[in-house]
Amino acid sequence: MVTTTAYRYVTEAVELLAALAPSLTDVVRTASVKAYLILDGTLLPIDRIAADRLFCSGSIRSTG
């Protein structure tokens, strides 16, 4: 019975977060005016004109 309750809580939390998340169109529009974008914990500069290397993703990976 405890497992069922925990599963229900997780399911409800995921549904709530999904309902509050912005649409993909809104995210892309917002990201287009920013200088940096964080995706899955990786910092990505999105100003490709000012990049030193044209074909480098420019991601900064750090632990901690």
Q: Which residues contact 46 (CB under 8 A, 6 or more apart)?
A: 31, 34, 35, 36, 37
Residue 19 lies in a domain: yes
Q: Which residues contact 51 (CB under 8 A, 6 or more apart)?
A: 45, 58
Residue 49 lies in a domain: no
Number of structural domains found in the chain: 1
pLDDT in tens, 8-49: 999 999 999 999 999 989 988 888 887 777 777 776 666 555
pLDDT at 17: 92
Residue 52 lies in a domain: no
pLDDT at 51: 46
Residue 38 lies in a domain: no
pLDDT at 29: 87
Tokens of 53: 């290397």
pLDDT at 45: 67
Residue 13 lies in a domain: yes
pTM across the whole model: 0.42
Residue 27 lies in a domain: yes
Residue 29 lies in a domain: yes
Cα 7 to chain centroid distance, Å, stands at: 25
Give the domain extent around 8: 2-33
